[in-house]
Each structure stands twice: as structure tokens, then as C-alpha cells.
């Protein structure tokens, strides 16, 4: 790593102790930026790197709520407004017991570059809570959402900061969050949050967008080697929003998707995942993925193990950070892996990324491959601003165009910087340059 970058990285590590995931995300981006700084010393002179690593605003708040037994519970809420050089802060809310400041900051930092890559006018931010929705009744989750929004509402707005969903926050939770925002402010401000239901300001394709977009990116990446999804053996981690829609799109393109998972284990279905059963189990009944194997003859369940035990030509990590490590990567490479596209954020550990790249596996980092979700959120904001509602076909066409542009931008940037096929380098440099130029234009703010 270049000396200037090393110096800033040291400061970032020292100023943000204990935030392991944030350190990992910053280090990964910095490893790509050496050649950019050589060509553009103005970024160093204006301390763009130091400014990029310091969120514009960080909000931490108490979220009190009452459970079904009448007991008062306390969780911690976060919103990290990272960078608004390109537009209002934009990024999801995660409800998961593992959430702490370091996770929210890694996600917010990644979001800045991802949102830049979409080409849409959106800055980066992220938020969430250490609240665990699993095992909670609908009433408990609604009361939690209402309490969370009772503080968050004063920090967000159509032109300020626009949250959306992430792990543990789907369409149901967005409804309860928006309902409370509307109630407190007495404003039907559709553009304040995305991922809304289509009858109350949402956009068609938003629910599908992250998973679909990941597969569309992978399709274009495979095409650079004359490959396609048709007949390809695919495994997917997770069985939430991103995973289910990645499976749906991969199957539509002819892929043979044989396994998916949740935090407890994975299922293998050599006949191909039956999406109808998977949706019923996970989305409707909200049961663990093990139940899929119980209902589908020929499928089997493996508890307490990762889905990467299953051989695949294309692996789509769509669950969570650092879920595919060096051992997993080595196994998959030895078994003939051709490509990895990340639906999740930072799911592949740095050691695994290095191993995949040196083995010649096509590797698409999340900040590029899963940008279709936030891009379609920006399309939702466009529809809200013009009080319009686009058709599914039109919106999906827009998403496909955006994913193709992101892919080509990453590929061309990697080539321009002398490392063709390195999507990590391409995504980091293309994402960074646009934000850095906007920061220079806006002065020291
Ligand atoms: P969901 O909550 O819908 O699904 C998450 C899935 O991942 C579930 O199957 C869950 O299993 C599994 N999972 C969660 N934590 C872990 C863990 N620690 N170990 C193993 N599995 C785990 O979330 P999404 O599908 O929305 O998000 C998945 C990923 O995609 C996240 O990394 C998110 O940041 C990223 N992403 C999401 C976007 C979106 O539009 N929703 C946009 C861009 C990125 P279980 O139910 O057992 O917890």
C-alpha cells in the first residue's frame, strides 16, 4: 500500500478502535487507490481520504419498547450518515443482534462507493439496531419499529437521509416505520423511505432488485469469458430477500440452483430448489430453511454448516459479511468454481478474495454486484418525486441497463488501470473517483 494511504489507514484504525468490519472495509478500498492518488495528487492535498473515512454524522439512540409479557426492553439504534457529496444519505436499516457501530460503519462506508457506482444522485449512509426480530411476535416488531422511528424521524427526510431495508427489515417493517413517520410528522412524504409497498408509494421491482441485479451483473461478467448461466450449477447462501430473488433470476436464465441456507444450516436439492416451497417456508411462515427439506422429497438438510460445502460452478453469497472464508474458497476452487458474485455486503473474507482472484475465478464485489437494490430505490424516489408509478417491465429494463453500466464501468476502469478482469480494483476506483471529485467541487465541508 502507498505511504500516504498507509498513514491515513493507521489514523483510521487508531480513531475507530474495535470496529473490525469497518477496518476491513476501509483497508480493502485503500488497497485499490494507490494508482489513483499518483494520477490525482489533488485528492491528497484536499485530505479527501481522511474526510471520506469520517462520517458526516453518527447518531446513536435508545430504543425502548414493551414485549408481549409487559416487560420493558431496551435496544440501541444507529444511523451513520456517511457522505452526502452526491446526494442525500441513502442506505438500509439492519435489525440483527450482531449490529454495533463497527458493522453500521462498514456498511455505510461501502454504501458511499456503491451508490456512486449506480450513477444516481445518492450519498451513502446506513443504520439499524441490535434488536433481534427472530421469535418476536408481529406486535412486538411493530412496537419496536414505532419506537425506533420516534427518534429516527428527526434525522431523515426526502432531501436529507432516505433509509430502506436490509437484514431483518423487509416490506412489513418498512410499512410500520413509514406509518410512524407519517403519524409523527403529519406528512405523506413518500420519498423519505424506500422499499414501500406498491400500493402506497413503492416501486415495482424494488423487492426483487438486489437479487436480480446480482445475477444480471454475474451474467455479464460470465459473458466476458463466453459463459452463461444456462445449465450452470449454482449455490446461494441465505434464504432471505436477496437470496430468493437471486435464485429466481438465476433459474430464469437456465441455472440449476441446488442449495441455499440460513444462519442455522443449509439445504441441498439436487433436483433444483423449488421456489414456491422455499417462499412458503421462509417468507410466509417465517420458518428456518430446514423446513424446506422436510417438505420436499429428495432434498436434505445439513445443520450448523456452511453451504459452501456443496460443489458449484457459480457461488452467490447472499446472507451476511465474512461468510465465505479462505477454506471455503479453496474447497470451491478445487471443485471447479468459475465465478462468485456477492449479493450480500462483504461476504467474502480478504484471504478468500485473494485466493479466488489468484485462481482466476471471476469475482464480483458486493458494492458493484448488489448495487441494483439501491439503484432501484433511487428509481422509487424518482417515481415518488413525480407522483408516478412505472410498469414492472419498464423498471426492470432500467435495472438491467444500470447493472450493465456498472459492470462495464468496473471492467473498463480495471483495464484503464492495467489490471483487466479485476472488478475489485475497477469498482473501488470508479466509485471513489466520482465521490472524490464531488467533494473537491463542494469545498472543505
Ligand atoms: P434478509 O433478512 O431478508 O435475509 C438474510 C438471510 O441471511 C437469512 O437467510 C438469514 O438467515 C441469513 N443470515 C443472516 N445473518 C446470518 C449469519 N450471521 N450467518 C448466516 N446466515 C445469516 O436480508 P437480505 O436478504 O435483505 O440481506 C442479505 C444480504 O444482502 C445482507 O448482507 C445485506 O446487507 C445485503 N444487501 C441487501 C439489500 C436489500 O435490498 N435487501 C441491498 C444490498 C445488499 P436467518 O433467517 O437464519 O437469520
Per-residue confidence (pLDDT) for residue 142, from 0 to 100: 98
Per-residue confidence (pLDDT) for residue 372, from 0 to 100: 98
Ligand 1 atom closest to residue 94's alpha carbon, by position in its atom list: 34
| Residue 181, all three cell numbers | 413517520
- The C-alpha torsion from 389 through 395 and 399 to 401, rounded to 10°, is -120
Same domain for 279 and 339, yes or no, is yes
| Residue 134, all three cell numbers | 427472530
Same domain for 141 and 236, yes or no, is no
Same domain for 40 and 168, yes or no, is no
Same domain for 136 and 245, yes or no, is no
- Our count of domains for the chain comes to 3
Q: Is the residue at 377 inside a domain? A: no
Per-residue confidence (pLDDT) for residue 421, from 0 to 100: 97
Residue that is last in its domain, among 54, 72, 98: 54
For ligand 1, the distance from its centroid to the CA atom of residue 347, given in whole angstroms, is 10
Same domain for 69 and 155, yes or no, is yes
Q: Please report, in tens digits, the pLDDT of each residue of the chain (445 residues total).
A: 889 999 999 999 999 999 999 999 999 999 999 999 999 999 999 999 999 999 999 999 999 999 999 999 999 999 999 999 999 999 999 999 999 999 999 999 999 999 999 999 999 999 999 999 999 999 999 999 999 999 999 999 999 999 999 999 999 999 999 999 999 999 999 999 999 999 999 999 999 999 999 999 999 999 999 999 999 999 999 999 999 999 999 999 999 999 999 999 999 999 999 999 999 999 999 999 999 999 999 999 999 999 999 999 999 999 999 999 999 999 999 999 999 999 999 999 999 999 999 999 999 999 999 999 999 999 999 999 999 999 999 999 999 999 999 999 999 999 999 999 999 999 999 999 999 999 999 999 9
Per-residue confidence (pLDDT) for residue 175, from 0 to 100: 98
Per-residue confidence (pLDDT) for residue 107, from 0 to 100: 98
Evaluate: CB of 242 within 6 angstroms of ligand 1: yes
Q: Choosing from 90, 114, 126, 434, which is the catalytic residue?
A: 126
* CATH code at position 89: 3.40.50.10860
For ligand 1, the distance from its centroid to the CA atom of residue 388, given in whole angstroms, is 30
Structural domain boundaries enclosing 128: 55-191
Same domain for 183 and 247, yes or no, is no
In angstroms, the CA 378 to CA 203 distance is 10
Q: Is the residue at 243 inside a domain? A: yes
**90 included as an active-site residue:** no
Residue that is last in its domain, among 54, 80, 95: 54
Q: Is the residue at 99 inside a domain? A: yes
Residue nearest to atom 48 of ligand 1 (CA): 263
In angstroms, the CA 350 to CA 326 distance is 8
SS (H, E, C) the chain: CCHHHHHHHHHHHHHCCCCHHHHHHHHHHHHHHHHHHHHCHHHHHCCHHHHHHCCCEEEEEEEEEECCCCCEEEEEEEEEEEECCCCCEEEEEEECCCCCHHHHHHHHHHHHHHHHHHCCCCCEEEEEECCCCCCCCHHHHHHHHHHHHHHHHHHCECCCEEEECECCECHHHHHHHHHHHHHHHCCCCHHHCCCCCHHHCCCCCHHHHHHHHHHHHHHHHHHCCCCCCCCCEEEEECCCHHHHHHHHHHHHCCCEEEEEEECCEEEECCCCCCHHHHHHHHHHCCCCCHHHHHHCCCCEEEECCCHHHCCCCEEEECCCCCCECHHHHHHHHHCCCCEEECCCCCCECHHHHHHHHHCCCEEECHHHHCCHHHHHHHHHHHHHHCCCCCCHHHHHHHHHHHHHHHHHHHHHHHHHCCCCCCHHHHHHHHHHHHHHHHHHHHCCC
According to DSSP, the β-strands at 314-317 and 233-237 are parallel
For ligand 1, the distance from its centroid to the CA atom of residue 263, given in whole angstroms, is 9
Q: Is the residue at 22 inside a domain? A: yes
Same domain for 70 and 17, yes or no, is no
Same domain for 288 and 240, yes or no, is yes
Q: Is the residue at 357 inside a domain? A: yes
Same domain for 10 and 104, yes or no, is no
Evaluate: CB of 263 within 6 angstroms of ligand 1: yes
Same domain for 135 and 177, yes or no, is yes
Q: Which of 97, 242, 264 to mutate to test the pocket of ligand 1 (most atoms within 8 A of CB)?
A: 242
Residue that is last in its domain, among 136, 159, 191: 191
Per-residue confidence (pLDDT) for residue 1, from 0 to 100: 85
Q: Is the residue at 407 inside a domain? A: no
- Sheet containing 265-268, strands listed edge to edge, beginning at the edge strand earlier in sequence: 300-303, 265-268, 256-262, 233-237, 314-317, 339-341, 362-364
Evaluate: CB of 365 within 6 angstroms of ligand 1: no
Same domain for 260 and 126, yes or no, is no
Q: Is the residue at 106 inside a domain? A: yes
- Whether the CB-CB separation of 27 and 353 falls below 8 Å is answered with no
Q: Is the residue at 428 inside a domain? A: no
Evaluate: CB of 262 within 6 angstroms of ligand 1: yes
Evaluate: CB of 345 within 6 angstroms of ligand 1: yes
Same domain for 362 and 263, yes or no, is yes
* CATH code at position 237: 3.40.50.720
Amino acid at each position: 500500500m502507498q505511504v500516504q494511504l498507509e498513514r491515513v489507514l493507521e489514523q483510521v484504525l487508531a480513531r475507530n478502535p474495535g470496529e473490525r468490519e469497518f477496518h476491513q472495509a476501509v483497508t480493502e478500498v485503500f488497497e485499490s487507490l494507490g494508482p489513483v492518488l499518483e494520477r490525482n495528487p489533488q485528492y491528497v492535498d484536499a485530505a479527501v481520504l481522511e474526510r471520506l473515512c469520517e462520517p458526516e454524522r453518527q447518531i446513536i439512540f435508545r430504543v425502548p419498547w414493551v414485549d408481549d409479557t409487559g416487560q420493558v426492553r431496551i435496544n440501541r439504534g444507529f444511523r451513520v450518515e456517511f457522505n452526502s457529496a452526491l446526494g442525500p444519505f441513502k442506505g438500509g436499516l439492519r435489525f440483527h443482534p450482531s449490529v454495533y457501530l463497527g458493522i453500521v460503519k462498514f456498511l455505510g462506508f461501502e454504501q458511499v462507493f456503491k451508490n456512486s457506482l449506480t450513477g444516481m444522485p445518492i450519498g451513502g449512509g446506513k443504520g439499524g439496531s441490535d434488536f433481534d426480530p427472530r421469535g418476536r411476535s408481529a406486535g412486538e416488531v411493530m412496537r419496536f419499529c414505532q419506537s425506533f422511528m420516534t427518534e429516527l424521524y428527526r434525522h431523515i427526510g426526502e432531501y436529507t437521509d432516505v433509509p430502506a431495508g436490509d437484514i431483518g427489515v423487509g416490506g412489513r417493517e418498512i410499512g410500520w416505520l413509514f406509518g410512524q413517520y407519517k403519524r409523527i410528522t403529519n406528512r405523506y412524504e413518500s420519498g423519505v423511505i424506500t422499499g414501500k409497498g406498491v400500493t402506497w408509494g413503492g416501486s415495482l421491482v424494488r423487492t426483487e432488485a438486489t437479487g436480480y441485479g446480482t445475477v444480471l451483473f454475474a451474467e455479464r461478467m460470465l459473458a466476458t469469458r463466453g459463459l452463461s448461466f444456462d445449465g450452470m450449477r449454482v449455490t446461494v447462501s441465505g434464504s432471505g430477500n436477496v437470496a430468493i430473488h437471486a435464485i429466481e433470476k438465476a433459474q430464469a436464465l437456465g441455472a440449476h440452483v441446488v442449495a441455499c441456507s440460513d444462519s442455522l444450516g443449509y439445504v441441498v436439492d439436487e433436483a433444483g430448489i423449488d421456489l414456491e416451497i422455499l417462499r412458503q417456508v421462509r417468507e410466509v411462515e417465517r420458518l428456518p430453511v430446514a423446513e424446506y427439506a422436510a417438505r420436499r422429497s429428495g432434498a436434505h438438510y445439513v445443520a450448523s454448516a456452511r453451504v459452501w460445502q456443496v460443489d458449484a460452478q457459480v457461488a452467490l453469497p447472499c446472507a451476511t459479511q465474512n461468510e465465505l472464508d479462505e477454506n471455503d474458497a479453496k474447497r470451491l476452487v478445487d471443485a471447479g468454481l468459475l465465478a462468485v458474485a456477492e449479493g450480500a455486503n462483504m461476504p467474502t473474507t480478504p484471504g478468500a478474495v485473494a485466493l479466488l482472484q489468484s485462481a482466476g475465478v471471476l469475482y464480483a464485489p458486493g458494492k458493484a454486484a448488489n448495487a441494483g437494490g439501491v439503484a432501484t430505490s433511487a428509481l422509487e424516489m424518482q417515481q415518488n418525486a413525480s407522483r408516478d408509478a412505472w410498469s414492472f417491465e419498464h423498471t426492470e429494463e432500467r435495472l438491467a441497463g444500470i447493472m450493465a453500466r456498472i459492470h462495464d464501468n468496473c471492467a473498463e476502469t480495471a483495464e484503464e488501470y492495467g489490471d483487466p478482469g479485476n472488478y475489485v480494483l475497477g469498482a473501488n476506483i470508479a466509485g471513489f473517483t466520482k465521490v472524490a471529485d464531488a467533494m473537491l467541487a463542494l469545498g472543505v465541508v
